[in-house]
Amino acid sequence: MLILSTLPPAFFFLNRLKENNAAQIEKINYVLSITGPEDFVYDGKAAFNLFRRDIDFFWFSIRPNKALETYQTMTEYNYDIYELIEKFRPKIISDCQIQNIRHEAVASDYIQSDKFENLFIRKNDL
């Protein structure tokens, strides 16, 4: 009985060992290959932007009861992703946490990447 009870967790952990982050590393390398150290990037999930400048520091906490909401109670800070995209003109943006990918700030200046469907590249940088 003891041996049988250890089989399901053992299969779970063996399957987890097969997983790796190769896809994430591929995306990171892709972003690095088409951006320079001075370029802005909007990640939205901390999935690929490790070495480039970000357009803001609150994109990771816009869900309710997180840092942004607390910060806004102490200051007059207004987080608007579309205004930030227009202001900083990031070379690459992710569709993560962007409610309307057809918004003028995105649709007029960005085209979907042919390698990663959730990434958009500024048109004049292709």
Q: Is the pLDDT of residue 64 over 70?
A: no
Q: What is the largest CA-CA distance in the chain?
A: 65
Q: Is the pLDDT of residue 65 over 60?
A: no
pLDDT of residue 89: 95
Q: Is the pLDDT of residue 126 over 70?
A: no
pLDDT digits (tens, 9 = 90+) for 32-52: 999 999 999 998 888 888 889
pLDDT digits (tens, 9 = 90+) for 73-124: 888 888 889 999 999 999 999 998 888 989 999 999 999 999 999 999 999 8
Neighbours of 68 (CB within 10 A): 19
Contacts of 100-107 spanning 24+ positions with Cβ under 8 A:
106/82
Q: Could you write out the three-class secondary structure of 27-59?
A: HHHHHHHHCCCCCEEECCCCCCCCCCEECCCCH
Nearest to 40 by CA among 79, 94, 103, 117: 94
> Rounded to an integer, what distance in angstroms lies between the CA atom of residue 32 and that of residue 51?
8
Name residue, tokens 């085209």. Answer: 111
Query: What's this model's pTM, rounded to 2 decimal places?
Result: 0.76
Of 83 and 4, more confident: 83
